[in-house]
């Protein structure tokens, strides 16, 4: 196992050299105010057999989890996904390979509450819009998992055993803002990484070289500096390897990056103005500071986008959103629906939908003069599915905030591969060309999930309107209605026979 | 007022003008407002027409639940500048249906043309009807099919009637209920009405009494060549259309046009009394399966008892009662289904008892009551399924059944 720990300090955070002391076996840090990324890489022979059994059937497996608490995605970790668990999966090339183990493993690792049976049933198939981007996954899954508690206890019980350093690392994931797992069949290695945007009291800990000696721990204490090229990120600071280096070495390097953070005032917020009814409207509000085009290279074309992750309880009408009617699009401040994947059935109730839901990539309109508008509202008309009856007459549907970003494409842009902090396979990045740069807007509320109250059939367990009552009432109404009509028909039939007879008598 | 109905050109001119104004108004609203006049179903038809114009399947469009014939018919909507072709077609079908109604009133009830036109105007000049077709709903097309069927039967155009019945059932299934009443109506006096023979009537009745004693005679009496012909022809038309569509579009045709109605899982709230029960049973919260028997009362009334009792008295009256029963007892009921029986209204009003304004008022009131509950649910998000929508749909059903009773009595009191 290799570990890499990166601390990224904000430019205004104080740092003195006694906050990070390297000895031959340990690195001690003290009250370090910084964002942090921990990355552990496992070779395939270090992975538990039950995980390996699944991984060997995968060509690629990427898991992204993001917290529903607000966090700062600082450079170079600027990319975001909607709150919850996202799984991107491409099976291996062996035909007839069993994929069933994936859901079983996911439930073991992340918790039984995942609604996952098999990739064919529960996952959706993202569209391949950009053939230049080879890594679009075949299957994609989402669950609105709000904590990684399951993963923490899995690591503690199944992997760490009595290793206290391992347990501490697992424990720390509990407070992570995002967690990534990556596997691909080319490198045959599994990486697990956690990201923390800050630590309340600053980071203080002693990182020791592992007793076995084989494991390496790379440390970076970095800060972001102004890069020369707009597509680049420049970082400077100290680097070292615990157990190998006797002191931290100063460093300064720059690299092209696909993800960039925008200034702090480039924010957005998401709401569903009430009454939401069965047709809630998602409103994405952008202050004028969010509407300035990003500092992309001059030859790049930029457009504002939003990528929606909608659980199966809620959906958009793809025909409505694909409309090319300028009046409709203008009234919602939309430009176009760029991609849609997953469950788009317009009528099915939630209980008959087997997969998790749908993804929508929308290009958003921006005002021609951002300075003139106070707040720019983009609205997305959505619809709720019927949910199962409940005692109260209502059920809750949670909808994670979409991510909002500028995508800038340059014809002769840079390849983004040589970035030590590169992050791909986020669902939305695969819908653009490889040379696209993304500038993320910052969500501006403390919780990044909206709860909708969905009216459902109210079933009382006591009282007048129980299941039985509804059955009996309906059947009684139908039977009485039928009898009434039959009686009326009987009267007509009788009177016409009578008149027929009397006519015949008269005729005689 | 009567002078107006003596001038058919004026009435048809007005009905065409009404539709033309609505068409232009609709085009204007569509071009100037994000809220469209055009019905969402029209977008479904035109999308499907686009698919077939590119030699694809109309069922590539989700929620296209119609025969491919409709998509073919609307292929011109894919030509530049012809988007409204379908609406014009539907609106003209309305007017044609109105003309056929006037004709049929004259032949069925012996009305003067002016009186026939007066009652036909209930359809021709009805703003609701014009609104539905100019918004692009295909129900107008169905109504003209059904009314032409009636016209063809009344005018003894048996071949045409057989073809229309087969086509109608292929188009929307439910017109099959008219089969039994047409066959029964073709019985007895109507068969002879073209050659009245008052002198021989007494003898005939005696003969009939004799014949009635033998059930085999009865059967052979009922199975006239004419009836066998119309039955065979309509079945052949229906089968030929279905087989050709199946060859062309395979399972999606069967699934969307027919099987969908048997296996549908979307039980969104609607006017049907079964609506709440279907929601419960679809969500697995119910023990019984009463709703699977829903077709029993529905078909018993609309296919068997109403034709037997009423068809010989008045074919249009029986057809109205059948349609009314079919819609009221249906598992799903939306407002477009109301048009199915409203097209027969001109045939009922001339002999309806004085209660008709009261009936219409009650029908509208309880429909409004339901719509209010629906609005609270759909737009304000209040859980009005139970008791609101549940009771509203049962009461609306009650009103429908009561009205059906009156219609039956009124049709039944007609002298043959």
Reported as a single tens digit per residue, the pLDDT across A344-393 is 888 888 888 889 999 999 999 998 887 777 889 999 999 999 999 888 88
Q: B87 or B216, which is more confident?
A: B87
Amino acid B93: pLDDT: 93
Secondary structure of residue A303 in the 3-state scheme: strand
Cα of A308 to nearest chain B Cα, Å: 22
Asked if pLDDT for residue A26 goes beyond 70, the answer is yes
Alpha-carbon distance values, B146 to B66, B139, B149, B178, B232 (Å): 16, 11, 5, 9, 19
> Which chain A residues contact residue B288 at CB under 8 A?
471
Tens of pLDDT, residues B366-409: 989 999 999 999 888 888 888 889 999 999 999 999 999 999 99
Q: A93 or B327, which is more confident?
A: B327
Tens of pLDDT, residues A141-177: 999 999 999 999 998 888 887 888 888 888 999 999 9
Interface touch A319/B62, C-beta < 8 Å? yes
- Compare all CA atoms of chain A with the CA of B322 and give the residue at the minimum distance: A485
Amino acid A407: pLDDT: 92
- Which letter does DSSP use for residue B34 in this model? S
- Compare all CA atoms of chain B with the CA of A464 and give the residue at the minimum distance: B387
Asked if pLDDT for residue A401 goes beyond 80, the answer is yes
Alpha-carbon distance values, B257 to A265, A296, B58, B199, B234 (Å): 54, 53, 11, 52, 18
Residue of B281, B386, B390 to mutate, testing the A interface (most A Cβ within 10 Å of its Cβ): B386
- Compare all CA atoms of chain A with the CA of B279 and give the residue at the minimum distance: A457
> Which chain A residues contact residue B374 at CB under 8 A?
none
Among candidates B306, B380, B405 on the partner chain, residue whose Cβ is nearest the Cβ of A484: B405
Tens of pLDDT, residues A247-262: 889 999 988 888 999 9
Among candidates A277, A456, A475 on the partner chain, residue whose Cβ is nearest the Cβ of B290: A475
Among candidates B266, B280, B288 on the partner chain, residue whose Cβ is nearest the Cβ of A457: B280
Q: B140 or A96, which is more confident?
A: B140
Number of cross-chain residue pairs from A and B with Cβ atoms under 8 Å apart: 188
> Which chain A residues contact residue B390 at CB under 8 A?
465, 470, 473
Q: Which two tokens stand for residue A269?
A: 């917020």
- Compare all CA atoms of chain A with the CA of B288 and give the residue at the minimum distance: A471
- Which letter does DSSP use for residue A342 in this model? E
Amino acid B195: pLDDT: 39
Mean pLDDT for A388-415 is 87
Tens of pLDDT, residues A85-131: 999 988 887 666 667 788 889 999 999 888 888 888 889 988 776 55
State the Rg of chain A over Cα: 29
Amino acid B145: pLDDT: 94
Among candidates A277, A485, A504 on the partner chain, residue whose Cβ is nearest the Cβ of B404: A485
% of chain A with per-residue pLDDT over 70 = 94
Amino acid A181: pLDDT: 93
In b/e form, how buried is each residue of B33-44, taking b as 16+ CB within 10 angstroms? eeebbbbebbbb
pTM exceeds 0.95, yes or no: no
> Which chain B residues contact residue A279 at CB under 8 A?
378-379
- Compare all CA atoms of chain B with the CA of A507 and give the residue at the minimum distance: B202
Cα of B3 to nearest chain A Cα, Å: 37
| Confidence category of residue B332, pLDDT binned at 50, 70, 90 | confident
DSSP string, B59-86: GGSTT--S-HHHHHHTGGGGSTT-TTHH
Amino acid A55: pLDDT: 87
Mean pLDDT for B24-48 is 89
Amino acid A245: pLDDT: 83
Cα of A489 to nearest chain B Cα, Å: 7
Cα of A340 to nearest chain B Cα, Å: 15
Amino acid B257: pLDDT: 79
Residues 6+ apart with CB under 8 A from A328: A320, B34, B36
Measured distance CA(B371)–CA(B383) in Å, rounded? 14
- Which letter does DSSP use for residue B113 in this model? H
Cα of A446 to nearest chain B Cα, Å: 26
Among candidates B279, B300, B378 on the partner chain, residue whose Cβ is nearest the Cβ of A277: B378
Amino acid B215: pLDDT: 63
Among candidates B274, B288, B385 on the partner chain, residue whose Cβ is nearest the Cβ of A458: B385
Closest of B256, B378, B282 to residue A350, by C-alpha:
B282
| Confidence category of residue B234, pLDDT binned at 50, 70, 90 | very high
Cα of B198 to nearest chain A Cα, Å: 12
- Compare all CA atoms of chain B with the CA of A318 and give the residue at the minimum distance: B62
Amino acid B205: pLDDT: 54
Amino acid A169: pLDDT: 86
Residue of B32, B43, B376, B405 to mutate, testing the A interface (most A Cβ within 10 Å of its Cβ): B405
Measured distance CA(B35)–CA(B52) in Å, rounded? 28
Mean pLDDT for A190-210 is 87
Among candidates B202, B283, B305 on the partner chain, residue whose Cβ is nearest the Cβ of A486: B305
- Compare all CA atoms of chain B with the CA of A493 and give the residue at the minimum distance: B309
Q: B309 or A132, which is more confident?
A: B309
Asked if pLDDT for residue B96 goes beyond 90, the answer is yes
Asked if pLDDT for residue A416 goes beyond 80, the answer is no
Tens of pLDDT, residues A31-59: 888 999 999 898 888 888 888 888 888 88
> Which chain B residues contact residue A488 at CB under 8 A?
404-405, 408-409, 412
Cα of B110 to nearest chain A Cα, Å: 22
Mean pLDDT for B135-158 is 91
Asked if pLDDT for residue A24 goes beyond 60, the answer is yes
Q: B267 or A315, which is more confident?
A: A315
Amino acid B194: pLDDT: 38
Tens of pLDDT, residues A312-325: 999 999 998 988 88
Cα of B105 to nearest chain A Cα, Å: 23
Measured distance CA(B408)–CA(A242) in Å, rounded? 94
Asked if pLDDT for residue A64 goes beyond 60, the answer is yes
ipTM of the complex: 0.86
Triad B311, B313, B317: Cα angle to 5°: 65
> Which chain A residues contact residue B372 at CB under 8 A?
none
Interface touch B383/A482, C-beta < 8 Å? no
State the Rg of chain B over Cα: 23
User: Could you give the angle at which helices B356-378 and B390-412 cross, rounded to 10 degrees?
Assistant: 160
Amino acid B305: pLDDT: 93
Amino acid B191: pLDDT: 43
Interface touch B383/A485, C-beta < 8 Å? no
% of chain B with per-residue pLDDT over 90 = 46
> Which chain B residues contact residue A332 at CB under 8 A?
34
Measured distance CA(A317)–CA(A385) in Å, rounded? 12
Neighbours of B9 (CB within 10 A): 7
> Which chain B residues contact residue A505 at CB under 8 A?
none
Q: Where are the domains of chain B?
A: 139-191+220-251, 264-415
Interface touch B63/A346, C-beta < 8 Å? yes
Q: Tell me which range, A78-87, A122-131, B250-259, is most confidently predicted by mean pLDDT.
A: A78-87
Average pLDDT, chain A: 87
Amino acid A36: pLDDT: 94
| Confidence category of residue A17, pLDDT binned at 50, 70, 90 | confident
Amino acid B39: pLDDT: 87
- Report the 3 state secondary structure along A93-126: CCCCCCCCHHHHHHHHHHCCCCCCCCHHHHCECC
Asked if pLDDT for residue B143 goes beyond 50, the answer is yes
Interface touch B63/A486, C-beta < 8 Å? no
Residue of B275, B372, B385, B388 to mutate, testing the A interface (most A Cβ within 10 Å of its Cβ): B385
């Amino acid at each position: 196992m290799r570990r890499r720990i990166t601390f990224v300090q904000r430019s205004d955070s104080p740092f003195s050299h006694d906050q990070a002391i390297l000895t031959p076996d340990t690195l001690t840090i003290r009250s370090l105010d910084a964002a942090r990324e921990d990355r552990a890489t496992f070779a395939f022979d270090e992975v538990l057999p039950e995980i390996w059994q699944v991984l060997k059937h995968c060509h690629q497996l990427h898991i992204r989890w993001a917290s529903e608490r607000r966090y700062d995605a600082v450079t170079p970790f600027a990319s975001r996904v909607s709150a919850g668990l996202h799984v991107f999966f491409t099976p291996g090339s062996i035909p007839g390979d069993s994929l069933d183990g994936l859901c079983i493993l996911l439930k073991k690792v992340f918790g039984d509450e995942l609604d996952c049976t098999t990739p064919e049933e529960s996952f959706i198939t993202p569209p391949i819009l950009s053939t230049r981007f080879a890594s679009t996954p075949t299957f994609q899954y989402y669950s609105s998992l709000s904590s990684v508690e399951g993963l923490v206890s899995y690591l503690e019980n199944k992997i760490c055993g009595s290793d206290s350093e391992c347990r501490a690392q697992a424990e720390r994931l509990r407070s992570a803002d995002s967690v990534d797992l990556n596997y691909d069949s080319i490198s045959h290695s599994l990486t697990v990484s956690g990201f923390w945007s800050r630590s309340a009291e600053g980071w203080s800990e002693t990182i020791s070289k592992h007793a076995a000696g084989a494991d390496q721990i790379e440390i970076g204490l970095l800060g972001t500096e102004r890069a020369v090229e707009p597509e680049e990120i420049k970082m400077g600071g100290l680097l070292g390897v615990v157990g190998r280096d006797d002191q931290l070495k100063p460093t300064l390097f720059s690299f092209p990056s696909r993800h960039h953070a925008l200034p702090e005032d480039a924010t957005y917020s998401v709401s569903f103005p009430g009454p939401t009814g069965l047709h809630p409207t998602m409103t994405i509000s952008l202050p004028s500071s969010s509407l300035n085009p990003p500092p992309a290279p001059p030859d790049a074309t930029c457009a504002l986008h939003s990528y929606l992750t909608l659980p199966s309880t809620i959906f958009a009408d793809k025909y409505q959103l694909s409309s090319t009617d300028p009046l409709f699009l203008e009234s919602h401040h939309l430009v176009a629906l760029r991609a849609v994947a997953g469950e788009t059935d317009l009528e099915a109730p939630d209980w008959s939908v087997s997969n998790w839901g749908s993804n929508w990539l929308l290009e958003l309109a921006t005002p021609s003069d951002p300075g003139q508008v106070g707040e720019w509202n983009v609205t997305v008309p959505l619809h709720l599915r019927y949910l199962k009856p409940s005692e109260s007459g209502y059920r809750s549907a949670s909808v994670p905030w979409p991510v909002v970003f500028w995508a800038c494409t340059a014809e002769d842009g840079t390849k983004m591969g040589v970035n030590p902090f590169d992050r791909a396979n986020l669902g939305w990045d695969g819908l653009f060309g490889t040379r696209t740069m993304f500038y993320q807007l910052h969500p501006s509320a403390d919780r990044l999930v909206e709860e909708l109250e969905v009216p459902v059939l109210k079933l009382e367990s006591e009282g007048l309107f129980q299941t039985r009552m509804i059955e009996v009432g309906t059947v009684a109404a139908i039977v009485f209605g039928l009898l009434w009509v039959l009686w009326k028909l009987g009267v007509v039939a009788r009177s016409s026979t009578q008149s027929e007879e009397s006519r015949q008598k008269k005729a005689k | 007022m009567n002078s107006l109905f003596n001038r058919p050109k004026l009435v048809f001119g007005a009905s065409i003008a009404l539709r033309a104004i609505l068409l232009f108004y609709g085009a204007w609203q569509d071009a100037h407002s994000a809220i469209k006049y055009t019905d969402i179903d029209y977008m479904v038809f035109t999308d499907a027409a686009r698919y077939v114009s590119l030699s694809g399947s109309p069922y590539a469009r989700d929620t296209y639940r119609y025969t491919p014939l409709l998509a073919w018919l609307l292929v011109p909507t894919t030509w530049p500048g012809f988007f409204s072709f379908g609406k014009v077609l539907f609106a003209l079908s309305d007017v044609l249906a109105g003309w056929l109604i006037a004709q049929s009133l004259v032949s069925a009830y012996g009305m003067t043309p002016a009186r026939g036109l007066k009652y036909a105007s209930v359809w021709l000049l009805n703003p609701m009807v014009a609104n539905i077709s100019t918004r692009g709903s295909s129900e107008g097309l169905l109504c003209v099919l059904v009314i032409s069927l009636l016209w063809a039967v009344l005018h003894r155009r048996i071949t045409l009637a057989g073809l229309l019945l087969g086509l109608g059932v292929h188009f929307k299934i439910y017109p099959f209920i008219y089969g039994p009443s047409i066959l029964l109506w073709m019985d007895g006096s109507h068969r002879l009405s073209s050659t009245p023979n008052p002198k021989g009537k007494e003898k005939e009745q005696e003969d009939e009494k004799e014949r009635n004693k033998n059930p085999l005679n009865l059967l052979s009496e009922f199975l006239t060549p004419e009836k066998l012909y119309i039955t065979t022809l309509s079945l052949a038309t229906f089968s030929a259309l279905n087989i050709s569509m199946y060859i062309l579009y395979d399972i999606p045709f069967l699934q969307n046009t027919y099987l969908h109605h048997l296996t549908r899982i979307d039980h969104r709230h609607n006017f049907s009394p079964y609506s709440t029960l279907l929601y419960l049973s679809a969500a697995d919260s119910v023990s019984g399966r009463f709703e699977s028997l829903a077709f029993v009362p529905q078909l018993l009334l609309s296919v068997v008892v109403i034709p037997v009792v009423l068809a010989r008295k008045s074919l249009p009256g029986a057809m109205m009662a059948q349609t009314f029963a079919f819609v009221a007892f249906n598992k799903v009921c939306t407002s477009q289904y109301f048009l199915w029986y409203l097209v027969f209204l001109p045939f009922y009003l001339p002999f309806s008892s004085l209660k008709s304004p009261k009936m219409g008022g009650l029908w509208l009131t309880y429909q409004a009551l339901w719509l209010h509950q629906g609005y609270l649910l759909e737009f304000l998000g209040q859980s009005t399924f139970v008791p609101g929508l549940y009771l509203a749909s049962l009461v609306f059903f009650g009103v429908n059944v009561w009205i059906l009773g009156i219609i039956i009595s009124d049709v039944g009191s007609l002298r043959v």
